[in-house]
Amino acid sequence: MNLTLEQKLNNIHHYGIDPDNREIYLHSYIGDAEVEPGVDYRSAIFFEKNIRYLNSISSEPILIHMHMGGGDWEDCLGIYDSITSSKSKTAILAYGKAQSASSVILQASDHRVVMPNVNLLIHYGSISIDSEHSKAAASSVAWNERECDKMVQIFTDRCILSPLAIEKNWKKSMAKKHIQSQLANKCDWILNAEETVHYGFADGVFGQMPYLTIDHIKRKLNKK
């Protein structure tokens, strides 16, 4: 079915998907609230539908344009899992910020590219315990500790392949210890685009080799 330009723009602006070019726009749910909600169930569900739809059409690569702040951890993992389980290869191009939950989402993709002025922010999430029952509170704390370790492991698995890890001859346990120390000392660990690549949390900076243009990103994806 041939769509008009207006229909194509409607798909992009209202549904966050460009099927012709196999591109998805991942951002916060756009509503009436002035405060950006970040990663939540609405943005996760929209994205999960879109990537599933493109995967149902073909196994050609998918480019994800991500402009997203932090947000809900479990919804973050929903997006993360939908990317890692995609039969199509994926690339994420991060704009503006990759903070908290979205810094984790970035790690899910086959190719991770950041815009030159993107800052990556990594930190442990917060937890709120409403239950007055001590066992329920203890269970929530234990779950939070496991999830924090899961996040650190995601970054460790990427860091161990980084220029920094190769330079320092790190084993995985050493990379993990370094990440944990950065989070303990800085609380909010902020990296600029070049530092993000040096730590292995992105593969390149947009506008630099080998990701000079959108077409260059897609060519990398199409390579076997």
Q: Backbone phi, then psi, for 136, in 5-degree steps?
A: -65, -40
Q: What residues contact 1, with CB distance under 8 A and at least 6 apart?
A: none
118 with 162, same domain: the answer is no
Indicate whether 13 and 58 sit together in one domain: yes
Q: What is the pTM for the complete model shown?
A: 0.92
Question: So what's the pLDDT on residue 68?
Answer: 93
Domain limits for position 178: 132-187
**pLDDT score for 131:** 60
Statement to judge: residues 70 and 108 lie in one domain: yes
What is the predicted pLDDT for the residue at 13? 84
Low-confidence ranges of the chain (pLDDT < 50): none
Query: In residues, how long is the chain?
Result: 224
pLDDT tens for 7-16 read: 888 888 888 9
Mean pLDDT of the chain, nearest integer: 93
- CA 9/CA 3 separation, integer angstroms: 10
The contacts found for 144-152 with CB under 8 angstroms, 24 or more apart, are 147/73, 148/124, 151/104, 151/124, 151/125, 152/176, 152/179, 152/180, 152/183
Any idea which residue has 């991770």 for tokens?
A: 112
Q: Do residue 146 and residue 85 come from a single domain?
A: no
- Residue 13 shares a structural domain with residue 56: yes
11 and 81 belong to one structural domain: yes
Would you state the pLDDT for residue 130? Answer: 67
Do residues 201 and 140 share a domain? no
Q: Please indicate, yes or no, whether residues 104 and 24 belong to a single structural domain of this protein.
A: yes
CATH number at residue 211: 3.90.226.10
Residues 159 and 201 in one domain: no
Residues 97, 44, single domain; the answer is: yes
Q: What is the DSSP string of 20-31?
A: TTTEEEEE----
